[in-house]
Amino acid sequence: MAKKTVADINVKDKKVLMRCDFNVPLDDNCNITSDDRIVKALPTIKHLLDNGAALILMSHLGRPKGKKDPKLSLAPVAEKLSELLEEQIVLADDCIGEAVRQKADSLKPGECMLLENLRFHKEETIKDKAAKEDTQLREAKDKFAEQLAQLADIYVNDAFGTTHRDNASMYTVPVMMEQKPKVIGFLIEKELKFLGDTITNPEKPFVAILGGAKVSDKLGVIENLLDKVDIILIGGAMAYTFFKAEGKGIGESLCEDGFLDDATELLKQAKDLEKEIVLPTDNVIAKEIKQDAESKVVSGDIDSGWQGVDIGPETRKLFAEKLQNVKTIVWNGPMGIFEIPPFDEGTKALAQAVADATEKGARSIIGGGDSASAVKTLGLEDKVSHISTGGGASLEFLEGKKFKSLQVIDEK
């Protein structure tokens, strides 16, 4: 069933508590270096304010480990929101407590306030499993969540980046607002549409591109996608685990030895299902992982003393060819050490190939993280169908996992 959204309910003169993902990157002076996550929350925020809601926003920022840290205050977010909305957004000194309650009570329709960093309280990140096993933890988490739940008449979740977590603000708060409306915002609605439609009813041919460091991070994704995709392209350091499983020399390349059997089994499953798993045919290798390190391109085995750092030119061309005439593309994870040029060339080439395929009619979904950074760095953001706002969340969604934070949301 589809989940109710903010468009399905009457918010006029109601107090609305909205969970956002304002976990923005900051420089050493606490200046926001990318306001992308704030901008993407604006459609839901504006809808609620324009329709007469008194809006209370909440989010985490960084990992303060349950202690107040001025460097991880949401003050820069409040300032940026004020600028984007062209009205003053009040930042509360905390996210719970009597002073916060009074500020929320005095909030008028059309006004907006932002609670201070949720993770300044350790109760926010207590895992639900731990809370069930420990009475004290459960009571602490419930008490924290109850204070948030009492602030409003309606709960809105528009924080896709944390939907895979059972944090207090994501799960316990809406559970406690049992008799009150609980809906999603437009950002999550869009994520569920793109990711959900792709997994349940992809238009064929369907290609999945998986990269990054660890096979262990992508095992569930590959297993879940094998019966849905036509081709899986594998790059990044995770490819070397597959190479070693096939008996190839990988030198000093990153490899998860504990997952060699899993890699072998996945290759066998793909063959049995007549699905194509495509590994790199050549690799850029280097003596060290640094910008001016000695490097070269090799096909076949990687000698001792060298390590794979990117897919090679032949592989870039091969992967681009595999994207010709496809209808659906899902990409999660870089093809090499994207942060260190020139080992970003494979990821950049793939980003261009995905954009080219999209221009020819493919539906392309970029699963956050470094693959999203590559697309944005090259100015290709408008050349792909959708860039997910949640790296970890989109990965778990592609694995087919159910999110508790969404299960408690009202259905249409």
Known catalytic residues are 37, 214, 369, 392
Q: Which residues face 188 on adjacent strands?
A: none
Helix 238-245, helix 215-225: angle, nearest 10? 80
Q: Which residues face 307 on adjacent strands?
A: 286
- Rounded to whole angstroms, the Cα distance separating 95 from 105 reads 14
Closest CA to 144 of 170, 173, 115, 166: 173
Q: Which residues of 270-303 are buried (b: 16+ CB within 10 A; e: fewer)?
A: beeeebebbbbebbbbbeeeeeeeebeeeeeebe
Q: What is the largest CA-CA distance in the chain?
A: 69
- Rounded to whole angstroms, the Cα distance separating 105 from 108 reads 8
The DSSP symbol for 379 reads T
Provide the strand spans (E) within 146-274. Answer: 154-157, 182-184, 206-210, 231-234
C-beta of residue 362 within 8 angstroms of C-beta of residue 388:
no
What count of other Cβ atoms lies within 10 Å of the Cβ of residue 334?
A: 29
- Rounded to whole angstroms, the Cα distance separating 245 from 299 reads 17
Residue count of the chain, please give it. Answer: 412
The DSSP symbol for 286 reads E
- Rounded to whole angstroms, the Cα distance separating 352 from 378 reads 8
C-beta of residue 131 within 8 angstroms of C-beta of residue 137:
yes
- Rounded to whole angstroms, the Cα distance separating 211 from 21 reads 25
Q: Strand order in 231-234's β-sheet?
A: 276-278, 231-234, 206-210, 328-332, 363-366, 386-387
- Rounded to whole angstroms, the Cα distance separating 233 from 370 reads 16
Q: Which residues face 308 on adjacent strands?
A: 285
